[in-house]
Structure 1
Amino acid sequence: MSAYTRLYRMTARDGQGAALRAALEDLAGKVCPIDGCQGIELLEDADKTGTFVFIERWASAEVHRTGSAALGKDAFAPVMAVLAEPPEASGLSPLN
């Protein structure tokens, strides 16, 4: 079980759903190899085409912060370029 999960909900601008999906798939390929990353899950909302949930599982919140810093903001640029609005983000910890 991961000690820390980071969840992002993102919606593409009109007509940019495929571009957002591709950008998120590329981002997942960059995040997964980072030490402490325990997996990525990418989901599309079944009722809202172009809305995605990107879930990162990490060994700890600190490992997530370190990994995100090492990745750099440029890795997120293709995602940010096609979003309709800023992503909704949550840091989650298991209850047990």
Structure 2
Amino acid sequence: MKLKKNAYFNREDYLKHVSTILLGRYAFDGSTSVSFLEVAAYLNLTPDALRMKKRDSKTMKMLQDAGIKVKKIRGVNHFYLAAEEDNTMVI
């Protein structure tokens, strides 16, 4: 996958890639979180190429509606399954 310089994912593609990677990771080894850097590595992109123009509330709402939240762990953003908070997994 190759993005042009100064090109960004649109919201739907961003959500699709993050949710696919996070759910695939959960199915593979039970991990409920994946770092922003790991998402970039899975897509064979630099972290800068994966970034969107800005972190906007519409994208965050789309992620939350899909059951994904973002939290910072040791200075790195991680996507995690929202159900992790109450220890129930609904897939």
* Higher-helix-fraction structure: 2
Whichever structure has more strand as a proportion of its residues is 1
TM, length-normalised to structure 2? 0.31
Q: TM-score, normalised by structure 1?
A: 0.30
